[in-house]
């Protein structure tokens, strides 16, 4: 009786130990986690996967302030299409959708000038970022059916048990995440 109980305990512990082992994150998991963090504007989690400060500096100067940026990413979605890995490097092809922010850029530039003037002459009653976020949300609501979709390849490098995304300098990935802003901005130049 004791030996059957002892053997059962050993088997149970062995099963428990294999189920609780540390699992390495896949490249696909890393891309999904990073993009979901951006959609929630969770910069702490996003910072685990890429330099979010450098990445956000690629946004046009008129989209400033954390509240406004959070609104810009709230419609960000993605779908993993494929992936490949070669040692400590990987590529993940992903379809990224967001509000068509590029289509709204000229409207937003005009709007942000008005907000700056309003904030300057309001006596500081409402912070610029709060006014900006409210107006940006109103603009997105007016253009709610406009979606920007792009298929991009994200390059990754293994870092410990996880992955780092190489997106800080990748203009195509930035454009997809930013809803086509870079494409429109480049046409203006």
Q: What is the pLDDT of residue 91?
A: 97
Domain membership of residue 8 (yes or no) is no
Domain membership of residue 65 (yes or no) is yes
- Which structural domain range is residue 90 located in? 27-188
Domain membership of residue 1 (yes or no) is no
The CATH number that applies at residue 37 is: 3.10.450
Q: What is the pLDDT of residue 187?
A: 76
Residues 153, 154, 158, 162, CA torsion sign: negative
Sheet architecture: strand order including 89-99:
77-86, 89-99, 147-159, 162-165
Domain membership of residue 153 (yes or no) is yes
Domains identified in the chain, total number: 1
89-99 and 147-159 strand pairing: antiparallel
Domain membership of residue 78 (yes or no) is yes
Q: What is the pLDDT of residue 13?
A: 46
The span from the CA of 49 to the CA of 43, in Å, is 10
For the chain, 189 residues long, give each residue's pLDDT as a single digit of tens: 555 544 454 554 444 444 455 578 999 999 999 999 999 999 999 999 998 888 887 776 556 677 778 888 889 999 999 999 999 999 999 999 998 888 887 777 777 777 777 767 766 666 677 777 788 788 888 877 889 999 999 999 999 889 999 998 898 999 999 898 888 777 776
Q: What is the pLDDT of residue 18?
A: 46
User: Which contiguous run of DSSP H or E holds residue 178?
Assistant: none
Q: What is the pLDDT of residue 95?
A: 98
Residue 138 burial (CB < 10 Å; 0-12/13-18/19+)? exposed
Domain membership of residue 22 (yes or no) is no
- A 10 A CB-CB count for 14 gives 10
Domain membership of residue 116 (yes or no) is yes
The span from the CA of 141 to the CA of 174, in Å, is 23
pTM for the full model?
Answer: 0.76
Domain membership of residue 97 (yes or no) is yes
DSSP-assigned letters across all residues of 60-121: -TTS-SHHHHHHHHTT-EEEEEEEEEETTEEEEEEEEEEE-GGGGHHHHHHHHHHHHHHHHH
DSSP structure class, residue 153? E
Hey, what are 17's tokens?
A: 């130990």
């Amino acid at each position: 009786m004791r030996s059957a109980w002892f053997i059962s305990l050993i088997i149970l512990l062995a099963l428990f130990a294999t189920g609780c082992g540390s699992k390495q994150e896949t490249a696909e998991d890393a891309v999904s986690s990073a993009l979901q963090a951006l959609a929630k504007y969770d910069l702490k989690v996003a910072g685990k996967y890429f330099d979010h400060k450098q990445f956000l500096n690629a946004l046009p100067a008129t989209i400033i302030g954390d509240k406004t940026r959070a609104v810009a990413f709230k419609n960000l979605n993605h779908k993993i299409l494929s992936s490949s890995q070669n040692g400590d490097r990987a590529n993940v092809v992903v379809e990224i959708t967001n509000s068509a922010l590029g289509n709204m850029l000229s409207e937003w530039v005009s709007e942000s000038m008005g907000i700056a003037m309003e904030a300057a002459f309001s006596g500081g009653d409402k912070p610029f970022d709060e006014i900006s976020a409210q107006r940006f949300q109103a603009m997105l609501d007016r253009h709610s059916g406009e979606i920007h979709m792009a298929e991009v390849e994200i390059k990754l490098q293994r870092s410990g048990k996880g992955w780092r995304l190489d997106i800080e300098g990748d203009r195509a990935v930035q454009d997809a995440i930013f809803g086509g802003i870079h494409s429109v901005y480049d046409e203006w130049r």
